[in-house]
Amino acid sequence: MTPKQVKQIKGTVLVLHGFAQNGKSFAIKASGIRKAFKKAGYHTVFIDGPLKLEPADMPFEVKTNGTPFADLNLRGWTYTQPDRFNIQPSLDVVREAYKEHGPFIGLMGFSQGAGVLGAILSRYAEVVGDEKAADYLKFALIYSGFVYTDKSMEKFYDKKIELPTLHLMGELDTVVSNDRSQKLVDRCLNSTIMRHPGGHYVPSTKPLLRSEIAWVQNVVDGKNNEDGEEKPEDAKKKAAEDKKELDDLAKQMAKLGQA
């Protein structure tokens, strides 16, 4: 019997969570794409934002279900209050993550984490402190991204982003509107948009996950799957799975308007 071949790791993807999350909790919320990355041969690193949030920092009520607020370890990348805005702690955390886990072949961020990624992409090598870092970096996945409007951030948007970027937007997202996300897309020279019929979250439907990984593989090595060619029987199986997934999703969406 031939020993099972160990899949080669193609590279590491750095992941930035959203506001009032942390690396561990977001790894669970984004388990669909995390597992898809792993299956495709990519390692993911989920890190914590630099700010440990207190009740006074929250622009919305947090249900603790009896757990002490401090034990929730809710993290942020920047404060939501304009007079407290400071991007530097986030830049420091990204640099430290690069020193410990880099270089990174890809970056991924959700909501506030995506906002931070969008800000640093044109200055990535400078932020992580390695002039060769940008040569190794191949892509960025941006979920519900946006452009920071604080005046201190203008220097981060003085150049267009050349890195291939995949922007995912929820058609029902009321936290970061599609129009707001489009402003970040407009700053990217090599962008692709994928939409899902949901709200403010990282989607995990199989058809979309397959499309995301196919995009990544095409950007990295020009292939949409490991062999570069999909077998007919696999295509039929995927088509059937996709139809069932979409049918189930349509039923769920139809229930939204029911009492």
pLDDT digits (tens), the chain, 259 positions: 455 555 688 999 999 999 999 999 999 999 999 999 999 999 999 999 999 999 888 888 787 777 888 888 999 999 999 999 999 999 999 999 999 999 999 999 999 999 999 999 999 999 999 999 999 999 999 999 999 999 999 999 999 999 999 999 999 999 999 999 999 999 999 999 999 999 999 999 999 999 999 999 999 988 654 443 344 444 445 555 555 555 555 555 454 444 3
Which of the residues 25, 144, 173, 191 is marked catalytic?
173
Check whether residue 127 and residue 239 sit in a common domain: no
Burial 18-55 (b: 16+ CB within 10 A, else e): bbbbbbebbbeebebbbebbeebebebbbbbbbbebee
Whole domain around residue 258: which residue ranges? Answer: 229-259
Residue 235's pLDDT is 44
Residue 111's pLDDT is 98
Asked whether residue 244 is assigned to any structural domain, the reply reads yes
Using DSSP, state whether 120 is helix, strand or coil.
helix
Q: Which residues contact 20 (CB under 8 A, 6 or more apart)?
A: 53, 58, 62, 74, 75, 76
Check whether residue 210 and residue 255 sit in a common domain: no
Asked whether residue 220 is assigned to any structural domain, the reply reads yes
Check whether residue 119 and residue 186 sit in a common domain: yes
Which of the residues 25, 111, 122, 191 is marked catalytic?
111
CB 30 within 8 Å of CB 110: yes
Nearest to 27 by CA among 210, 204, 213: 204
Residue 227's pLDDT is 40
Asked whether residue 1 is assigned to any structural domain, the reply reads no
Residue 117's pLDDT is 98
Residue 256's pLDDT is 44
Check whether residue 142 and residue 240 sit in a common domain: no
Which of the residues 57, 101, 130, 200 is marked catalytic?
200
Residue 23's pLDDT is 98
Verify whether residue 247 is a known catalytic residue: no
Asked whether residue 171 is assigned to any structural domain, the reply reads yes
Check whether residue 201 and residue 235 sit in a common domain: no
Verify whether residue 111 is a known catalytic residue: yes
Check whether residue 185 and residue 83 sit in a common domain: yes
Residue 241's pLDDT is 57
For the chain, the domain total comes to 2
Residue 70's pLDDT is 80
Token code pair at residue 58: 């929250």
Residue 226's pLDDT is 43
